């Protein structure tokens, strides 16, 4: 698999002010609520560590460069706030996703529900440790979403409408993902739909739309931004699928093959099942079994390679990225923003985590 170079300046330059804003928000809220009850230090501490301790900040970057491209000003508090809101919403989505998937690791650390489950166990509290951990993780995730919504409530009407739509799309995609994993079989068309709504739109296309809306040019730029953001969003999720199956756990922060244990309904798996022979289908029938060991994961990875599914996904990522790059060249936006979006597009398709 192709590995990435360092994140581009188009990403890192946006991340710093967004992280400063997040730090201010979370520190202020923790100080306010610790006056109510000092026991609230644990959830606020875990939330802060989760939000500030990792993440690529892609959503703030795409939002920022659409805003700048539409005539916005660098450093405008409105777009920095939007970036912070995206990161809080992403924290909410990941925390809930980890509960649904039963994941124990995120970013090389215990997931939020695993952290609170361990706290319950070590203190020998009443009730079931697992239910306590999952319940608190849901609440901490909800708290992040509330903070995100509160930030976005001051946005222009068109931007807030995009914000609400992307949250609906995220939930729709997540439901289809959970359903696909439970049913065990998803065709290629359904797998692509899940990828688009669970991740692609929410990561790239909608942040672009939101940035344009903040600058007051959504209707003019919606179509060219979609021509760029939709294929690139698909490429982003396809890359995530490869990393979830073949990635280096030290880089991805999750155990190798976790997507196979969870039975994620990915295009990668759908293509492999279409092309597999009888013996290969027998191997893939174990996808979704939580007790898969490293040997079985390795055998499944071999099937994904032997069927040509992994190569097909890599080719598709390259094609989608080129499609996106071609679409943005003539967009009625500043040359600086077009160049920055091109750098982000290249990074999306070649990253290693």
β partners of residue 300: none
Q: With residue 273 as reference, give the H or E element that holds it.
A: helix 267-275
Closest CA to 208 of 353, 321, 89, 83: 83
pLDDT at 186: 73
Contact of 100 with 176, CB cutoff 8 Å:
no
Question: How far apart are the two ends of the chain, measured CA to CA in Å?
Answer: 12
pLDDT at 253: 81
Q: What is the percent of the chain where pLDDT is above 70?
A: 98
Q: Is 59 exposed, middle or buried (0-12, 13-18, 19+ CB in 10 A)?
A: buried
pLDDT at 184: 84
Mean pLDDT of 246-262: 85
Least confident of 97-111, 177-191, 330-344: 177-191
The pairing of beta strand 105-106 with beta strand 109-110: antiparallel
DSSP 185: -
The pTM of the full predicted model, rounded to 2 decimals, is 0.95
Measured CA to CA, the distance from residue 236 to residue 240 in angstroms comes to 6
* Statement: residue 316 has pLDDT above 90: yes
Measured CA to CA, the distance from residue 351 to residue 334 in angstroms comes to 26
- The pLDDT confidence band at residue 2, using thresholds 50, 70 and 90, is very low
- The pLDDT confidence band at residue 257, using thresholds 50, 70 and 90, is confident
Measured CA to CA, the distance from residue 135 to residue 58 in angstroms comes to 29
Q: What are the tens digits of pLDDT across the range 284-309?
A: 999 999 899 999 999 999 999 999 99
Widest pairwise Cα distance in the chain: 63
Does the domain spanning 9-350 belong to CATH 1.10.600.10? yes
- The pLDDT confidence band at residue 108, using thresholds 50, 70 and 90, is confident
SS3 4: coil
* Statement: residue 189 has pLDDT above 60: yes
Contact of 195 with 259, CB cutoff 8 Å:
no
Measured CA to CA, the distance from residue 262 to residue 181 in angstroms comes to 7
DSSP 200: I
β partners of residue 110: 105
SS3 196: helix
Mean pLDDT of 222-247: 95
* Statement: residue 265 has pLDDT above 70: yes
């Amino acid at each position: 698999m192709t590995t990435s170079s360092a994140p581009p300046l188009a990403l890192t330059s946006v991340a710093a002010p967004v992280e400063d804003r997040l730090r201010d928000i979370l520190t202020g809220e923790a100080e306010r609520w610790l006056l109510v009850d000092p026991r609230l230090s644990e959830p606020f501490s875990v939330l802060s560590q989760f939000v500030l301790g990792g993440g690529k900040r892609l959503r703030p970057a795409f939002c920022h460069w659409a805003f700048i491209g539409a005539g916005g000003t660098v450093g405008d508090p409105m777009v920095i706030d939007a970036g912070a809101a995206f990161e809080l919403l992403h924290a909410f989505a990941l925390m809930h996703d980890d509960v649904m998937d039963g994941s124990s690791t995120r970013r090389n650390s215990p997931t939020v529900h695993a952290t609170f489950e361990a706290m319950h166990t070590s203190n020998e509290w009443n009730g079931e440790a697992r239910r306590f951990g999952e319940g608190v993780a849901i609440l901490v995730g909800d708290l992040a979403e509330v903070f995100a919504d509160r930030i976005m409530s001051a946005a222009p009407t068109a931007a807030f409408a995009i914000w609400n739509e992307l949250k609906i799309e995220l939930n729709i995609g997540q439901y289809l993902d959970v359903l696909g994993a439970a049913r065990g079989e998803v065709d290629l068309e359904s797998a692509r739909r899940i990828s688009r709504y669970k991740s692609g739109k929410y990561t790239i296309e909608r942040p672009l739309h939101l940035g344009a809306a903040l600058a007051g040019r959504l209707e003019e730029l919606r179509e060219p931004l979609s021509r760029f953001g939709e294929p690139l969003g698909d490429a982003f999720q396809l890359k995530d699928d490869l990393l979830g199956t073949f990635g280096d756990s030290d880089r991805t922060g999750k155990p190798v093959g976790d997507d196979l244990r969870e039975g994620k309904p990915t295009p990668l798996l759908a293509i492999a099942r279409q092309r597999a022979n009888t013996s290969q289908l027998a191997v893939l029938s174990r996808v979704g079994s939580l007790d898969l060991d490293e040997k079985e994961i390795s055998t499944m990875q071999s099937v994904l390679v032997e069927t040509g599914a992994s190569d097909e996904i890599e080719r598709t990522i390259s094609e989608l990225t080129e499609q996106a790059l071609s679409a943005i060249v003539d967009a009625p936006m500043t040359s600086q923003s077009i160049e920055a979006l091109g750098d982000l597009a290249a990074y999306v398709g070649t990253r290693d985590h």
